[in-house]
Structures are given as C-alpha cells and as structure tokens.
Amino acid sequence: MFLSLTIKIKAMSDMLDLFLEPDGKLPRSQQRLPPLSNSYLLVPGRSNVVSLKQYLIQKLGLKDSSLVELLCNDFPVGDEFSVSFISRYWSNTDDEVLLLKYRLQEEGNTS
C-alpha cells in the first residue's frame, strides 16, 4: 500500500499549471489570435511545445501547427522543450502557474 501511494504522489507532482494567452504586443498589422475559452490547463511536465501547439490549432481552428509560436517572457520557445524545462529554466517568476503566450508565427522565424 505504501509503495503505490508513493508512486501516485510522484505522478501527481509531475503535473504543472499552465496559462495560455494571446500575445498582446503584436503590431496592428499582424492578425491577433483570439483567447481560449479555457486558458488554464493542468499538463504533465513532460509535455512538449509541439503538443501545446497541436492543442492550440485544434481549439483555435487553425490548419497547421507551424503557424503558431509560443513565447515565454517574450522569447519564442523551441518545439523540443518540455513544459517542465520551460518552467525551471525560462520562467522568471516563482508563480505556481507558468504563463505562455501564443501568436501567429513571424515570417522567416521557425521554432
């Protein structure tokens, strides 16, 4: 019984709170993406940026995940990074919720 409880606690501790919001710092000439109906997510820390982009294209009705760019502290985040890595090494705050912003991919920029 004790062993299974320990495993369950470890599995739960891998979950991270995430808040996704559209980037509000876009020039007026660029199309802004709408906010999500539910911007708060509880995701496994091992989830990567690609899976978050797939979630966004599904919720926003876009055709291709390469159209979406995720940012942490106003810097684009590469597709290979996990949410846990971003939370530990990119986030400048001690908040329990990781804030990521999304926008349309800038021309000539690939994650």
- pLDDT tens for 9-62 read 444 468 999 999 999 876 654 568 899 999 999 999 999 999 999 999 999 998
What is the pLDDT, as a whole number, of residue 94? 67
Among 68, 78, 80, 15, CA closest to 41: 15
Question: Phi/psi of residue 45, each to 5°?
Answer: -60, -25
- pLDDT level of residue 96 (50, 70, 90 thresholds): confident
- pLDDT level of residue 8 (50, 70, 90 thresholds): very low
- How many other C-beta atoms can be found within 10 angstroms of the C-beta atom of residue 32? 14
Structure tokens at 104: 């349309």
Gap between the Cα atoms of 73 and 99, Å rounded: 8
DSSP 31: P
Quote the pTM value.
0.78
Contact 65, 79 (CB under 8 A): no
